[in-house]
Structure formats: structure tokens, C-alpha cells
């Protein structure tokens, strides 16, 4: 698309050589109402350069400014210069581009040749994949899609929590009380139960902890039985996680979890020793971070075993050596901010300048509104149950709304909407904000929700089906100069920028916000304008706009990992 803002910036730059194009672009504003034009340039900053009052500067500059095909009118209002775009040219450039690029509309190749790792989801083996993990999964998946759309070379890593002393406990518990059949039936629920039972019993009988340590040692030493059990726990857990990933349409390029790094730790410790970073403290090895106002990083325990933090150091080093990343991103909850600051500092102290390319993208916590799910006594909520419940509730809503729906399709659509609603809800706030999960809000077909956006998409689909004619960009764009149309067109035109803003802030919420704005603009247009009218010129132009909207909503939803059904 011809970038209108850039066009405005060029016009200004021709008269204001003292500011760089970038500075000019950053000063350009979108005025609050249309009488003030489509773009505005404030002249306050120029007062120093020109040594004149901003109002005078605006007037003088305005007179000299050249109009173009795209910029039809230039006016001043006090210290602002206001630019009015030519509405037909705007419509033509935006709509033609969308219809031409289709699924690729919004994509760019600004990331060419740059490798970005997005680590996300990373649940713990034998522990529930709960509602808290969904945030990492959904935010990470969407972030990955934004980087991918912008041409970065992406790698999705699931850093499974599949190592640590807890596996010794699990082996002991399974050998004592476990039933293989039960584990096969409901792996995570059963393993979790065993884990809890271990803790209850170990309180009474401390020798169990000793056993657990011994079994973890056997695991580390590669002893057959320990490895076999651990491998099995990992496998059955992954099968369960994969069911959730399938529902969400999420995939990974690597499942290299914590265990993958167990043999890569000694080298890390050597480097730390060479740099004189390690200190002994009660038999353990630490890196003192007092100078950086952080508690010490614990590297090895007194029995020599390594920790979560040490494994992160080994993992980052491995990733640099394997992928030579441009950015190495971690989508992990805000509770772990200190953890990430600590290990990244240690990596820096180890002399690795790429430490600065490791980015923790934290997010806030999810709480469940009272009575949402049986969370009594802190019982965990399983993500799979949440998704299933959303799908069931959607099915009920659809059934209540329509009489004759074809039953075959209802399952597919209910899944698209139910899962989409949960995913969209996760992205409808700035990621750092804690939020309360609410069913009513999630499944609301009117509010700023996934179902609302999906419904808008099906509405556009339905108009196009009814029109039943070929739609192209070969239309009279002057038809689309009214306010309703222009608002939709501007929103559509903002899409490429929205994707770029996502990666600037690692904030996929921007696309969720964006697509709600687009849907609202479209619904206003749809409500106030007849589309399938007799007048061919009007009809063809409006249909082109409907098609461009439908395509852009679909592309935006796909960046969020939400499907866009054609009917619902």
C-alpha cells in the first residue's frame, strides 16, 4: 500500500530539512476529528529552529506545501498543519492491495535473515497444564505468528519442565502406590495424585525423601529402571499436552526441555569458574549478584546437583550455538522476572555479549471469578476442561439462537468459536495485566470478544454469498468516500502497522484490539449502508470493501491463532 503517512512526511520534509524523516514521522498525529484532516503535524518543536511562534510557522509552511494525488488539501489550525487525504485514492490503494495479496495482506519481510526464537508454553511433566499455562501458550503462539508474518526466521521451543528432583519423588511414589493402567487412563491427574501422596507421606516418614534423592541420582546416572519410568511419565504427559495443543492449533519446532541440558551443565560451570564467578556458600555454589541488587544465583546445590536456573543458562548458550539467534524470547509469567534477570546477568558476566538479545516477555496472572469452575480449596483447573466447557457452552448458545442448524457442522463451529473465545480473551488485555477469567465475558457475542469478531466475519461472508457475483478491485472508488466507508478503509490500512507494533512491544494484544476496532467500523458501515443495491457502481464498490474487510479480519484472527468460520 502507498503509505499515506509517509507521503505526508515527504511533503513536510521538503520544507523542513532540519528534521529527519524519522523525526517527522514520529511527530505526525491522527487528529481527533475529521474536520481537522486525516493527519496533523504540530509545529511546536519547530519554534526553536525557526525562532518564531508555532502558529506563524504553521501558516508559512502550509503555503509552501505541495499537494499530491494522495493528499488533496493542506490547511492550518493554530499551530497544526492538517492534511486531508484524497478518499478515492485511499480506498483504491487499500482495497486493491488487500484483494491482491489476500492471505498475505499485512505481511512484510523486514525480518529477513534474522532468527527469532520464541519459547512458550513450557508446562511441567506430570503436573497439570492449567489455566495459567494457557497465557504463555496463547501469547507465545501469537507472538511467533507476528514475527513469522514479518519475515523473521522463527523457531518455536517448548522448554518442558521434565527434570529435577521431583522426578525422584514421582518414581518412589509410583513404585509404592502406582497403577500403570490408571496412569495410562488419566496420566497427569494420576501422577499429580501420586506426587501429592508422596508429600503427605514424606512428612511422616523423612526417609522417603532420601529414597527420592537416590532415585533422582539413578536417573542422572542413566540407570535403566529410572530412565524407563521417567521416559514413560514424559511420554504420557506429552500425549495429554498435545491434545490441548491440537485444540488450540499450536505446534512447536522443538521440545528440548530441561532434561535436554543435563549433560551441558559441566561446561557452564567451567566457564563460571574460569571467570571466577562461583563462590561457595554452605556447600552450594552461587554467583553473587549483590552488586546488581539481586539475591545470589544458586548454581549447584550442596549435593552437586544443578538447578532450574543453571539449566536456563545452559539452554540459552545451546540456543546461541545452535541457532545463532537475533532474539531469544521467553514468554513466561511475571512471577519469574527475578529468575530471568538473575540468569541473564550471570550469562552476561560469563562474557557472552548475546545476553542482551535474550528477552523475557512476562505476563500477568489469571484468576478465576468466584464459582467459575470448581476451584475450591485451590484445586487446579485443567486447561482441557476449560476449552471443553467453552465448546459445550457455545453449542448451547448456537442451539438456542437458531432453529435449523445442520448438526454435522455444529461441532466444528462450536469448537472454532469456543476455543477462539478463550484464546481471544487471553489476548484482550495488555499481557502484563492480571485479569480475571469470566465465562460471561469470554462467550459474549456482542462485547469486545472473539465470538463478536468471528460473527462480524461471517456477516461479511454471508453478504458475499448472497450477492453471488464476482468481486474485484476494478470498481469506482469514489463511491467509498463517505465517512462510514472511509473509517473501515482506514482501519484496514492500519493492519500492516499493527503487526509491526506487536513485535516492537512483544505485545500481541495489539492485534486483538485492532481487529475489534475493525469489526466495529465494519458493523457501523454494514448497519447504515445497503450493500446489495440495484445501482451496479455502488454495489460493486461496496462489495469490494466487504471482501477486503473479510480478508483482513481473517488475517488478523489467524495471527492470534483464532479461526474464522464462514458461517455461525
Catalytic residues: 127, 130, 133
Inter-residue contact 284 to 301 (CB < 8 Å): yes
Binding residue count for ligand ARG, defined by CB under 6 A: 9
Report in angstroms the alpha-carbon separations of 36 from 31, 143, 252, 486. 6, 35, 48, 15
Cα Rg of the chain, angstroms: 28
Q: How far is the CB of 119 from ligand ARG (least distance, A)?
A: 6
Helix (H, G, I), strand (E, B) or coil at 457: helix
CA torsion angle 121 112 110 354 (round to 10): 60
Residue nearest ligand ARG by beta-carbon distance: 161
Query: With respect to ligand ARG, which residue has the nearer C-beta, 28 or 287?
Result: 287
Tell me the C-alpha distance between 277 and 263, whole Å: 21
Distance in angstroms between the alpha carbons of the first and the last residue of the chain: 32
Query: With respect to ligand ARG, which residue has the nearer C-beta, 38 or 312?
Result: 312
Choose one: 8-16, 84-92, 116-124, 395-403; the region binding ligand ARG (CB under 6 A).
116-124
Inter-residue contact 439 to 386 (CB < 8 Å): no
122 belongs to the binding site for ligand ARG (CB under 6 A): yes
Query: With respect to ligand ARG, which residue has the nearer C-beta, 159 or 327?
Result: 159
Helix (H, G, I), strand (E, B) or coil at 374: coil
Query: With respect to ligand ARG, which residue has the nearer C-beta, 131 or 486?
Result: 131
Q: How far is the CB of 161 from ligand ARG (least distance, A)?
A: 3
State the number of CA atoms in the 13 A half-sphere of 277 facing the CB. 25
Tell me the C-alpha distance between 346 and 541, whole Å: 60
Beta strands in 282-386 (DSSP E): 284-287, 297-300, 327-331, 358-361, 366-368
Q: At a CB cut-off of 8 Å and minimum separation 6, what does 464 contact?
A: 471, 543, 546, 547, 550
Angle, vertex CA 450, rays to CA 248 and CA 31, nearest 5: 130
140 belongs to the binding site for ligand ARG (CB under 6 A): no
Choose one: 17-25, 121-129, 181-189, 491-499; the region binding ligand ARG (CB under 6 A).
121-129
Footprint of ligand ARG on 141-160 (CB under 6 A): 159
Helix (H, G, I), strand (E, B) or coil at 42: strand
525 belongs to the binding site for ligand ARG (CB under 6 A): no
Helix (H, G, I), strand (E, B) or coil at 358: strand
Query: With respect to ligand ARG, which residue has the nearer C-beta, 80 or 163?
Result: 163
Choose one: 90-98, 109-117, 122-130, 421-429; the region binding ligand ARG (CB under 6 A).
122-130
Among 96, 124, 154, 425, binds ligand ARG (CB under 6 A): 124
Total residue count of the chain as it appears in this document = 568
Report in angstroms the alpha-carbon separations of 31 from 40, 82, 88. 6, 8, 20
Inter-residue contact 363 to 333 (CB < 8 Å): yes
CA nearest neighbour of 317 among 274, 276, 269, 375: 269
96 belongs to the binding site for ligand ARG (CB under 6 A): no
Choose one: 79-87, 119-127, 436-444, 541-549; the region binding ligand ARG (CB under 6 A).
119-127
Q: How far is the CB of 312 from ligand ARG (least distance, A)?
A: 5
128 belongs to the binding site for ligand ARG (CB under 6 A): no
Query: With respect to ligand ARG, which residue has the nearer C-beta, 189 or 524?
Result: 189
Choose one: 120-128, 174-182, 417-425, 451-459; the region binding ligand ARG (CB under 6 A).
120-128
Q: How far is the CB of 132 from ligand ARG (least distance, A)?
A: 8
Among 129, 261, 330, 477, binds ligand ARG (CB under 6 A): 330
**In the stretch 431-470, what mask flags binding to ligand ARG with x, by CB under 6 A?**
----------------------------------------
Residue whose C-alpha cell reads 542482551 in the numeric block:
356
Helix (H, G, I), strand (E, B) or coil at 538: helix
Query: With respect to ligand ARG, which residue has the nearer C-beta, 130 or 497?
Result: 130
Among 97, 240, 312, 491, binds ligand ARG (CB under 6 A): 312
Tell me the C-alpha distance between 274 and 486, whole Å: 64
Among 106, 111, 140, 161, binds ligand ARG (CB under 6 A): 161
Query: With respect to ligand ARG, which residue has the nearer C-beta, 220 or 258?
Result: 258
Binding site for ligand ARG (CB under 6 A): 119, 122-124, 159, 161, 312, 330, 332
Amino acid at each position: 500500500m502507498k503509505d499515506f503517512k509517509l507521503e505526508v512526511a515527504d511533503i513536510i520534509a521538503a520544507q523542513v530539512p532540519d528534521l529527519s524523516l524519522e523525526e517527522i514521522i514520529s511527530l505526525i498525529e491522527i487528529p481527533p476529528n475529521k474536520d481537522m484532516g486525516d493527519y496533523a503535524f504540530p509545529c511546536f518543536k519547530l519554534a526553536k529552529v525557526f525562532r518564531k511562534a508555532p502558529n506563524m510557522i504553521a501558516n508559512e509552511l502550509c503555503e509552501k506545501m505541495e499537494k499530491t494525488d494522495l493528499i488533496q488539501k493542506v490547511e492550518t489550525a493554530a499551530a497544526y498543519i492538517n492534511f486531508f487525504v484524497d478518499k478515492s485514492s485511499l480506498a483504491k490503494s487499500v482495497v486493491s492491495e488487500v484483494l491482491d495479496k489476500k492471505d498475505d495482506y499485512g505481511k512484510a519481510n523486514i525480518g529477513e535473515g534474522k532468527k527469532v526464537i520464541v519459547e512458550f508454553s513450557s508446562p511441567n511433566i506430570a503436573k497439570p497444564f492449567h489455566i495459567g499455562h494457557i497465557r504463555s501458550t496463547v501469547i507465545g503462539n501469537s507472538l511467533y505468528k507476528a514475527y513469522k508474518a514479518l519475515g523473521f526466521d522463527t523457531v518455536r521451543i517448548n522448554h518442558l519442565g521434565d527434570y529435577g528432583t521431583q522426578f525422584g519423588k514421582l518414581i518412589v511414589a509410583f513404585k509404592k502406590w502406582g497403577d500403570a493402567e490408571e496412569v495410562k487412563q488419566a496420566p497427569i491427574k494420576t501422577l499429580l495424585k501420586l506426587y501429592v501422596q508422596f508429600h503427605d507421606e514424606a512428612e511422616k516418614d523423612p526417609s522417603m525423601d532420601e529414597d527420592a534423592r537416590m532415585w533422582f541420582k539413578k536417573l542422572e546416572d542413566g540407570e535403566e529402571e529410572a530412565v524407563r519410568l521417567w521416559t514413560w511419565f514424559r511420554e504420557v504427559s506429552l500425549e495429554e499436552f498435545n491434545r490441548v495443543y491440537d485444540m488450540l492449533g499450536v505446534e512447536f519446532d522443538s521440545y528440548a526441555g530441561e532434561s535436554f541440558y543435563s549433560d551441558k551443565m559441566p561446561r557452564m560451570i567451567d566457564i563460571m569458574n574460569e571467570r571466577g564467578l562461583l563462590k561457595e556458600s554452605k556447600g552450594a555454589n552461587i554467583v553473587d549478584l549483590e552488586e546488581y541488587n539481586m539475591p545470589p544465583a544458586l548454581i549447584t546445590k550442596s549435593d552437586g546437583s544443578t538447578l532450574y536456573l543453571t539449566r536456563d543458562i545452559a539452554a540459552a548458550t545451546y540456543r546461541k550455538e545452535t541457532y545463532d539467534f537475533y532474539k531469544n524470547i521467553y514468554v513466561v509469567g511475571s512471577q519469574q522476572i527475578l529468575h530471568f534477570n538473575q540468569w541473564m546477568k550471570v550469562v552476561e558476566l560469563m562474557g557472552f555479549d548475546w545476553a542482551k538479545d535474550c528477552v523475557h516477555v512476562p505476563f500477568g496472572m489469571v484468576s478465576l471469578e468466584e464459582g467459575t469452575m470448581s476451584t475450591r480449596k485451590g484445586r487446579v483447573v485443567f486447561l482441557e476442561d476449560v476449552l471443553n466447557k467453552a465448546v459445550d457452552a457455545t453449542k448451547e448458545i448456537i442451539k438456542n439462537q437458531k432453529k435449523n442448524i445442520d448438526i454435522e457442522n455444529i461441532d466444528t463451529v462450536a469448537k472454532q468459536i469456543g476455543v477462539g473465545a478463550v484464546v481471544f480473551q487471553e489476548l484482550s488485555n495488555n499481557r502484563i495485566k492480571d485479569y480475571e477469567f469470566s465465562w460471561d465475558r469470554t462467550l459474549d457475542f456482542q462485547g469486545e470478544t472473539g465470538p463478536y469478531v468471528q460473527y462480524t466475519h461471517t456477516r461479511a461472508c454471508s453478504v458475499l454469498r448472497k450477492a453471488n457475483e464476482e468481486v474485484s478491485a476494478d470498481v469506482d472508488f469514489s463511491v467509498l468516500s463517505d465517512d462510514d466507508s472511509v473509517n473501515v478503509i482506514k482501519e484496514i490500512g492500519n493492519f500492516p502497522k499493527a503487526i509491526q507494533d506487536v513485535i516492537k512491544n512483544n505485545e500481541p494484544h495489539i492485534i486483538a484490539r485492532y481487529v475489534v476496532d475493525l469489526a466495529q467500523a465494519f458493523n457501523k458501515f454494514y448497519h447504515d449502508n445497503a450493500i446489495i443495491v440495484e445501482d451496479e457502481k455502488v454495489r460493486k464498490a461496496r462489495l469490494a470493501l466487504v471482501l477486503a474487510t473479510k480478508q483482513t479480519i481473517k488475517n488478523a484472527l489467524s495471527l492470534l491463532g483464532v479461526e474464522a468460520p464462514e458461517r455461525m
